[in-house]
Amino acid sequence: MAQQRTSVPITRVERYVYEIPAHGEMRVPARIYADEELIEELTAPAAQEWSALQQLVNVASLPGIQKAALAMADVHPGYGFPIGGVGAFDPKEGVISVAGVGFDINCGVRLLATELTRADLEGKEDRVADALFHGVPAGLGSTGELKLTEKEIDRVLREGAHYAVNLGYGTPADLTYVEEQGRMSGADPDAVSRTAKQRQLRQVGTLGSGNHYVEVQVVDEIYDEEAARAFGLAVGQVTIMLHTGSRALGHQIGTDYLPFLERAARKYNIPIRDRELVCAPVESPEGRQYYAAVMAGANTAFANRQVLTHLIREALNKALGVAPESIRTVYEIAHNTVKFEEHEVNGRRKRLLVHRKGATRAFGPGRPEIPERYRSVGQPVLVGGTMGTASYVLRGTEKGMRDTFGSALHGAGRAKSRTKAKKEYPADRVIRQLKERGITVRAHGRSSISEEAPGAYKDVEQVVDIMAGAGVIAKVARLRPVVTIKG
């Protein structure tokens, strides 16, 4: 292994797994899923000013953390926690942190499968793109067709995707294939500020901006025939991937609770190595209140994606005459979450509070949380690429359950800041280059094209291969983009 350009001691403990041993204030080691190239990037001088590795060390120093602080292969610096970070905490000794969830609470991905093939789209890409562009509200400050009162928003916060289905947006069958069946227990609307609720009154059923998207894709390779059959995927099949979260409400919850947990950290004398890592004991009144607010934010995201699924079905019906009921939810999984789960620690089952910040749940075969249809092969894991690269369907493994608390990467991971990307990738050039590769793009803002250009991200093939090579996930299918709608 090449000599590292950092004072942080990093050793390779197995193929694609590196470790920073516990030292100083660290309570557990920090583990990174990477190859030599990614380790070089993470330890290069340019990466030290805002360091994902230092953030991981800080997480490993928090009270009650179990086994190791983890970084998936798509890791990059975030707010306090690195994006791609996982931390599991003993509820009696540990903490809950805003940084470990993020501001876009329960941001996630839903994959839809159609009965169409690539040939059915030939020559109709622009028609499909226009239908989705006009049929799915998107962009900064966009508003949806649902105009809710504060009383109705409280129902969204409690009921999640079930609220949308009860209004006729989709069917109960969708809920079977959503993480937690589209509703988190423990949500308390009273833990959410009036400001947050008012910001959401017109945003349920909106895509938003930034890295959120709707993408029409084609399955171009199958790696695991058994799992692909269980998930209902085949080569040549058209799929749709939806990526969005809790919109303004989720962001406001994060904003509201940062000073709240900062006061709690001082009150309980919790040592904080980074002011962005403010937190409260899990079982304190402050910790319980923040958890209840996060669950409410998560339910908002579930409802949002459910309404958007309905709008996508309507748009494809308009563009291609596709029967809405023929567009099936394969799975929906989130990647900015905190929740209680049971995992094995030191040979015994233990209830833990697991933070996944830009990381996705990836449960292995047999777990009861997985839909029965998929239980024998493991939970689907959805990894979004970029506008110009593949996305992946993976599955959880037994090794992943042992080594990562059943967690995996969520995307390619940023390699360049949005500011840098805007300078390097003019929108017109990106659109032209993608068109030359057979990818049709529509965007509600030109800056989102530049900021989300393929070159602004790591190589999704590389980061997926690292996680698969480590054995914590297994590849099932690769999806190639055909039409992309950006916020």
Binding residues for Mn(2+), as ranges, are 104, 212, 243, 335
Please state, in angstroms and rounded to a whole number, the distance separating the CA atoms of residues 244 and 309. Answer: 11
Token look-up 């749709």 returns 240
Residues at the annotated binding site for GMP?
A: 211-215, 335-336, 384-387, 391, 410-413, 486
How many helices (H) and strands (E) in the chain? 16, 19
Written as six digits, the tokens of 351 are 């209830």
Residues at the annotated binding site?
A: 104, 211-215, 243, 335-336, 384-387, 391, 410-413, 486
DSSP assignment of 147-184 equals: ---HHHHHHHHHHTHHHHHHTTSS-HHHHHTBGGGG--
Q: Is 343 a catalytic residue?
A: no
Catalytic residue among 162, 251, 410, 444: 410
Written as six digits, the tokens of 355 are 């933070």
Half-sphere exposure of 219 (CA within 13 A, CB side): 28
Please state, in angstroms and rounded to a whole number, the distance separating the CA atoms of residues 486 and 100. Answer: 26
CB neighbours of residue 286 within 10 Å: 19
User: Phi, psi at residue 436, to the nearest 5°?
Assistant: -65, -25
Residue 35: helix, strand or coil by DSSP? coil
Residue 70: helix, strand or coil by DSSP? strand
DSSP 82: P
Token look-up 């809710």 returns 148
**Dihedral sign, Cα of residue 413, residue 418, residue 422, residue 427:** positive
Residues labelled catalytic: 410
